Amino acid sequence: MSVFFISDLHLDAARPNCVTAFLQYLKTRTQGEELYILGDLFEVWIGDDHETELSQRVVNALAECPAHIYFMAGNRDFLVGAEFARKTGITLIEEPYVIRINNERVLLLHGDSLCTKDEAYMRVRPMLRDPVFQKQLLMKPTAERLEIAGNARQESQAHTSKTELEIMDVTPEAVIEALIANSATTLIHGHTHRPFDHLSVLSNSTGRRMVLGDWDEFGWHIYLEDSDLVLDSFPI
């Protein structure tokens, strides 16, 4: 039994290669295993009731995959809900989520909560993750939700392009705090699109922060091999 972690595929009909790569990944890499999807599987998700050709292909592929699949929402697909879980058979999990690997506590996050220097985003984040706000949003007609999502995406792109790179990365203190608060020694997250295996992030030279990459020309995943977690990429 092995465990796989992926995030930030940003699946979008405009990038068919990435969609094909994901469907292929489900078929070939994760048979009978556990797969954790740590957010931003979709570039945009306006509700489980909005079916598109893309959503149907992904739902079918997830439903057919024999792996036990866990899904944690990211900042782009936080409206993935119970209906999606029912149709795909996946298990929805909420961050912070801790699993045990080799008797050690491994903390799973999407990663946006760690970017505390991005004050503008940190101000709207609690609202976006608020169940009442989400419920109200889901009651709006599809056309209105599509418009809201389109505007949010444009604003986000404009914000990202004018915000310093350092601000868009995780804050080291937030990483330490999250590890300590969850009594974890390893953290796996995505969101920043800066894949890397950081060792010794705690002051006593322990603490590992493994960052998944976004899927573009390469796909990224972390998996367990010979009792060690490995960060790896493959061409798409």
Binding residues (CB under 5 A) for Mn ion: these are 40, 74-75, 191
Q: How far is the CB of 148 from Mn ion (least distance, A)?
A: 18
Phi, then psi, of 102 in degrees rounded to 5: 50, 40
Separation between Cα atoms, residue 3 and residue 68, nearest integer Å: 10
> From the CB of 131, what's the least distance to Mn ion, in Å?
20
Q: Report, in Å, the least distance between residue 39 CB and Mn ion.
A: 6
DSSP 30-82: -TTSEEEEES-SBS----TT---HHHHHHHHHHHH--SEEEEE--SS-TT--H
Nearer to Mn ion, 74 or 195 (CB): 74
Q: Report the Cα 178 to chain-centroid distance in Å.
A: 17
Q: What residues are paired with 93 via a beta bridge? A: 72
> Which single residue brings its beta carbon nearest to Mn ion?
191
Closer to Mn ion at the Cβ: 60 or 151?
A: 151
Cβ nearer to Mn ion, comparing 67 with 170: 170
Rounded to the nearest whole angstrom, what is the least distance from the CB of residue 206 to Mn ion in the complex?
27
Considering beta carbons, is residue 48 or 77 the nearer one to Mn ion? 77
